[in-house]
Structure 1
Amino acid sequence: MPEIKTRKFVKGAVKALDKSAALSNRMKSAMIRTKKATEQSTNAEETSPEEYASNHVSGWVDRAAHRAVHEFDQQGRKSIQATKKNLLHMKKRLVRRRAQKQPQPDMAKGVFHSRGAFQKSAQSAAKPLSKGAGKATRKTVKTAERAAKTTAQATRQTAKTARTTTRAAHTVSKATVNTLKTVVRASIAAAKAAIAATKAFVSALIAGGWIAVVVVIVLCLIGFLVGSCYGIFFSNEDSGSGITIQNVIEEINADYQAQIDSIKANASYDVLEMSGSRAVWPEVLAVYAVKTTTSPDNAQEVVTIDEVKKAMLKDIFWQMNILSSRTETKTEEVVTETDDGNGNIVQTVTTVTRTYLYITVSHKTAEEMANLYGFNADQQARLLELLSEENDALWSQLLTDVTGNGDEIVSVALSQVGNVGGETYWRWYGFHSQVEWCACFVSWCADQCGYLDAGVVPKFASCVQGVNWFKERGLWRENSYMPQPGDIIFFDWNRTAGQNGLADHVGIVEKTEDGVVYTIEGNAGNACRQKNYQVGDTEILGYGTLCS
């Protein structure tokens, strides 16, 4: 018999815990785990971002599949163990029942006549009982075994299904990972191409190629402007033809005035009355620009102008503006007041016959011209865009270049200083009798130097309407502004009614010197006068400027 090794145990001895050794073991285990994690994270195959992503996705799928199989296996094992325990428990119960059924000799005394008779009777009675019980027990055991086998088979089948599912999931994950790799590679390739293009652009700039880049950009912008209706904003330069947009506008304005002079020269009249207004130049030029650049037959740029384009612009102007006239003779009673020499006013009523010449200016709007020319939706959209408020400053700049600076309107206004009553201005405007004529004076001066035709200053008889016109076009400045010659100055008087934020009076800025603004005003004491105020005076409401 082989010798059995034993270990002596000293009773009462207590084993001491070596904390330093335990700490050393823990550190060693931690280092091993760290090393394994590092090796996994620095897998040689993960040489690119897409491989890293795909490996981690596939790793996650593998872990999930193995975890599912492990769970199925654990549940199956638990079911088998529970079945075995039930079988053992049933066997123990049967053994106990058999032991309880065995006869006890001492208890049988006095019951039967002899011991032999008792034993025979007990044996004869126990045989059929033991046979029936044994059969029932065996059947129960077999049933339990069959149930255990069925459970085990079901467990194995479940585990097999899980493994199949795992393999399918793994296959799908591989396909997904491959697709992911393809997408990531394509994205990276596109990013690399963009980076390469950027590097090339930067390299070109560094190497001095920025000059070429700037030239290309400028050429593209020039090409866009030349070919679009926006070229009209850059049309006031001579391109070599000797004609500029300024020349054409001045020539058309002269033709317009010549037409009016011709009507007056060919009519015999006592009183002239004019009414209506012309189409403003921004609308005329906008229609011209869109029609010229989008013509389906012969589209042309509008940055330059020649004789053909000048004829086109003149034709559009006269289609938009129509002059008509008529004369009418009226017999009227006229009241004349005179002094009789004794300090008495004498009124004399006389009947006179007068001939009135009525000149009416009617015009079409840009929208009406678009309908007349049959503009399509795209052409109409371009026309609206050109005339949008966003481009008011561009129109003002272009037309200010055409009409010059504010010195012209200042010169006209100075020539009127001393006029009393303002009849020249309010009758020109269209009124039949004297009104508050300060705004009529400003409008008349603007008309004399072409500002009305150019759309630089509006024709207005109400000071409030004048303020609104400048505000709507972004040409309004508050009273703290340092005004320039030719600016239109508006006042809100602080007098009997007090200031209410609305314009009560208007004039023209002559100049600004040493914090003082000098003005020329009509209807200042019913006459044209020069006046001055401190810049920022509380009664100065603000200014309308000729350009932004």
Structure 2
Amino acid sequence: MKQAYIQTKNKAEHSIEPEEHNETEYASDRMESGTKRMAEETVHQTKKAVNKGAENVKDKVERKIEDRVKKKVQSKAENTAKDTVKNSAERASKNAAKKSAEKSIRATNSAGRKSIRTVEKTSAKTVKQSARSTGKATVKTAQKGTVKTVKTSVKTAEKTSKAAIKTTKQAAKAAEKSAKAAAKAAQKAAKAAQQAAKLAAKAAKAAIQLLIKIIKAIIAAMQKLISAIIAGGWVSLLVILIICMIALLCWSVYGLFASANANNGEYTMHNIITRINNEFNDKITDIKTDNPHDKLVMSGSKAEWREVLAIYAVAYNMTDMHPANPDEVQVVTLDENKEEYIRNLFWEINKIDHRIETYTETEQVEEKQKDGKVKKVNKQVQKKALYITVSHVDLETMMNNKGFTAEQKKMCRQLLSDENNDLWRELLNGVTSSNSDIVLIAQEQLGNVGGKPYWSWYGFSSRVEWCCCFVSWCANECGYIESGTIPKYSVVDDGVVWFKNKDQWLDGSEEPEPGMIIFFDWADDGIDGGGDHTGIVEKVEGGTVYTIEGNSGDKVCENQYSIGNKEILGYGFYSGNNTVATGDTAQQVWTYLKSYGYSDSVAAGIIGNMMRECGGDTLNLDWNIVGHYNGDEFYGLCQWCLRYTPTGFKGSNVKEQCEYLQKTIKSEFANYGGNYNGITYSEFLKSNTRTAAIAFERVYERCGDYSFEDSRRADNAEKAYNRFHK
């Protein structure tokens, strides 16, 4: 029993303080070395993330941010390593203690049983010997003494076993408690490391955003500072110092994003891209006009503008292809030479081919018979099909064609990374194909069979059910995917969820508008609320919704449904929620109205009214103006009466006011269309500039003095149209 106690004690001591080179120390060393590697990798990845966006921008702002993040991550990693090593040791000790306790129980039980057997044998032997030598009296005495001794030994063994078991249970509970604490600490350490990594990535992105903001601020202030430089004095010195500090920023490839705010008359990024887009569309129109045809088949797509501009930024800034004048070697500002450079690059990347093919088609024609009667007969007719193919060079090939180095390719890909999506949206905001009309784009695709241009553009290597790919392709041609107005989706339900999450969903029982995205839930497989098909609303007339759908019988064709058809799941509509408008107030309003799908004429008609309400018949709109009349207070772009607007409407900005307009305009036409010959909202959407201005005045503004206001507001609308329509 004593030996069992000593053995248990020794094992317990070893479990608490493990000897060198045992399994505990080995596990601790392994964990410590692994944690060190993790810490080193975290620091390395953090440094890489911080440097990733601005490798060429060597200024104090970036270095301070990087050092701060690096120190914080290193501190986090070191603390994590220490905690993990400590917890590893405790966990190993727990395992060893548990094993020792189990062995102690087995050893103690075995020792107890062995003692009992030994005492029993000794007692029996003693009884026999005593009987032989001393007789019955001795036997009685021996029996009593032996029995008493046996009982005592048994009780002692039982107590020892119970004590050992109790000690073992306590050790197991302690070990379990230690294990839980170790696991909890490990989770905390992992979470801390994850937070440190997120902090590093966030700081790196913030560094890039800060650099862009600095560039934009300099551009906005440059004109005011020039006069101070000319005047001389200490202001000149300050300006020169500021210019020197941001010189590298302006000449880096990230200066491209600052060009969104660089307004040099007609040379803005929006205007340049719009002009080139119009040239692209004009070439396609010329091909159609010069080649009479019975059927048009278009395929392919042009390169995304962000890829064109990324190549432009790197090629113009980082190679020998830029002009010799060093003042021109930056992409922040825009001028005639840079527009020509972007135009040449665009046509170097994109290509339009066409061909004419004849085909035979059976038609029913009326022929006069010998007896004078007219009879319909089948006749083979020769027809012409015009095939127009748009293609573009992929990004990798274009970078190779430009002779980019590995470092320049890396910078180009960095510009196109997802972390810069917000910057791209701001740069390309409002950039669309001509007329920004998804319906016109869809109409040009009528008759396409098989859908290859759409599913191959999406990225599929073989045919798929391509109705979603068709809608996405048309939206991309309008610039709606780049601007975030319409999602790129290949599964119907993904499109439904996107519009619903954006609160841009109209129930299938409602009357839609042209350009909305329609979703169907076919009755064939049971109307279950899931999406089965999608298309584009072409027009709404006489209670009928006309659509253009891809993959309808494996082709692009027009279909029609009654309003409220049970198989129409609903409609996705455009909203300004995803648009970030820039420029003066009139430019912002134009951008938001266009993002809702309004035509140029309708948008101009609305702005023409705002010019009367808050602009003094000019495009210098004051969106924050407050007016008073007959005891009422009026506010904003349309001088809404605050008695009827939502609580807190006073103080709303341009975007919020445009969204309020978009939400209320349809109901106003339903209620007050009689003020202008019973005009409906659908008719308003199709009206020309002057009609749109007058209709909006009488139905929405309801100013009363129509004989004086009609011409004034219509004239204003034409001014707005001439400024913004491209």
TM-score interval w.r.t. the shorter chain?
A: 0.3 to 0.5
Instruction: Please identify the structure whose Cα radius of gyration is greater.
Output: 1
TM-score by length of 2: 0.34
TM-score by length of 1: 0.43
